[in-house]
């Protein structure tokens, strides 16, 4: 069977990468809009309603406008923006989130693709909250270091142009403590307090690692690094795109350093627990353009269509 797919916002970073994935497929017919009609609402509406699956790779306001153009009940929208990630009626596009999530994505005609930082944070924390090891009321903090491709075309051009000394060192941002991923990070982990989150962009193209520090004195009595690791391993047993890396293995680090780019060009998430007798750091690593964006969107499409979940990935 051939499925018709339209990417609204096909010229953006996420849209271009989705097209790369789709180009490998023989079961997909890609609907394309002429360059001079990209802002023509009537033409966009025609293609959106002609598609079995339409990806919205647009800013939030434009994604909401695109969704309003769809009146075909058979068109499934997968929105890569922030607009619908906690909205009623939209399934969260993270199949590994919990039991029943794949069924929700399969049944949904409205799917919100997770943010890159949020995917890593949620996959690291949700099993620990569900297991009762991390209290839902704990004031959690997290740091994410990411490549500049997550900033879109303008940031990519800025870094690749070179010549700006300010870009040579890592740059913390969102220091107003209102990052756009926070609502989904809270909603889909079960945390009752907004995490304190600091993302950092650095001078490499792609790759992302979110680190969550935990002190055992603040967790369930008797919690150890072994228990944290076991909870993650149990939750993700059999998941093809998630690896819980062995606890305490020297191979997890390269000369003592974590390789933030170690999942690049994959749809994989690697989870690590680093711990001593009093503290732990849980780390989730992914490709911010793969499992953190376009790969996740295609994975959700595969789940929704009932085909092999890893097809094209």
> Is the domain of 95 the same as that of 171?
no
> Is the domain of 89 the same as that of 174?
no
- C-alpha span between 165 and 99 (Å, rounded): 47
> Is the domain of 83 the same as that of 166?
no
- Cβ atoms of 111 and 175 closer than 8 Å: no
Q: Quickly tell me which residue has 């399969």 as its tokens.
A: 106
Helix (H, G, I), strand (E, B) or coil at 288: coil
Of the listed 57, 76, 116, 263, which one is catalytic?
Answer: 116
- Report the CATH number at residue 207: 3.30.360.10
The CB-based long-range contact list for 180-183 (8 Å cut-off, 24+ gap) reads: 180/82, 180/115, 181/82, 181/115, 181/117, 181/118, 181/121, 183/85, 183/86
- Residue 53, domain member (yes or no): yes
- Residue 47, domain member (yes or no): yes
Query: What's the CA dihedral at 75, 78, 82, 86 to 10 degrees?
Result: 80
- Cβ atoms of 35 and 46 closer than 8 Å: no
Model pTM greater than 0.85?
yes
Question: For residue 175, what is the enclosing H or E element?
Answer: none
- Split into its structural domains, the chain has a count of 2
Give 194-235 as a DSSP string.
Answer: --EEEEEEESSSS-EEEEEEEEGGGSSTT--HHHHHHHHHHH
Helix (H, G, I), strand (E, B) or coil at 284: strand
> Is the domain of 176 the same as that of 83?
no
- Residue 310, domain member (yes or no): no
> Is the domain of 130 the same as that of 266?
yes
Per-residue pLDDT of the chain (313 residues; tens, 9 = 90+): 899 999 998 778 898 899 999 998 999 999 998 877 777 788 998 999 999 999 999 999 999 999 999 999 999 999 999 999 999 999 999 999 999 999 999 999 999 999 999 999 999 999 999 999 999 999 999 999 999 998 888 888 899 988 889 899 999 999 999 899 999 999 999 999 999 999 999 999 999 999 999 999 999 999 999 999 999 999 999 999 999 999 988 888 988 999 999 999 999 999 999 999 999 999 999 999 999 999 999 999 999 999 999 999 9
98 has catalytic annotation: no
Q: Which domain holds residue 51?
A: 3-114+292-305
> Is the domain of 80 the same as that of 169?
no
């Amino acid at each position: 069977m051939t499925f018709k797919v339209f990417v609204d916002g096909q010229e953006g970073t996420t849209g271009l990468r989705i097209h790369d994935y789709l180009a490998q497929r023989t079961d997909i017919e890609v609907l394309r809009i002429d360059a001079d009609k990209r802002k023509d609402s009537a033409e966009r509406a025609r293609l959106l309603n002609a598609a079995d699956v339409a990806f919205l790779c647009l800013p939030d306001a434009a994604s909401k406008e695109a969704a309003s153009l769809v009146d075909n009940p058979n068109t499934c929208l997968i929105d890569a923006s922030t607009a619908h990630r906690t909205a009623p009626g939209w399934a969260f596009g993270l199949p590994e989130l919990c039991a029943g999530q794949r069924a929700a994505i399969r049944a949904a005609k409205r799917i919100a693709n997770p943010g890159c930082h949020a995917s890593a944070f949620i996959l690291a924390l949700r099993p620990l909250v569900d297991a009762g090891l991390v209290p839902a009321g704990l004031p959690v903090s997290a740091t994410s270091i990411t490549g500049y491709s997550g900033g879109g075309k303008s940031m990519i051009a800025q870094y690749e142009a070179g010549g700006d000394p300010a870009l040579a060192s890592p740059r913390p941002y969102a220091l107003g403590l209102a990052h756009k991923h926070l609502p989904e990070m809270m909603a889909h982990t079960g945390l009752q307090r907004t995490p304190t989150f600091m993302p950092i962009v650095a001078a490499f193209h792609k790759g992302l690692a979110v680190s969550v520090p935990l002190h055992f004195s603040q967790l369930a009595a008797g919690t150890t690094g072994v228990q944290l690791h076991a909870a993650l391993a149990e939750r993700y047993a059999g998941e093809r795109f998630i690896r819980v890396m062995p606890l305490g293995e020297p191979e997890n680090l390269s000369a003592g350093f974590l390789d933030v780019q170690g999942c690049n060009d994959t749809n994989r998430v690697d989870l690590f627990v680093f711990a001593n007798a009093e503290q732990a750091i849980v780390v989730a690593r992914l490709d911010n353009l793969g499992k953190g964006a376009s790969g996740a969107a295609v994975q959700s499409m595969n789940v929704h269509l009932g085909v092999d979940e890893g097809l094209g990935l």
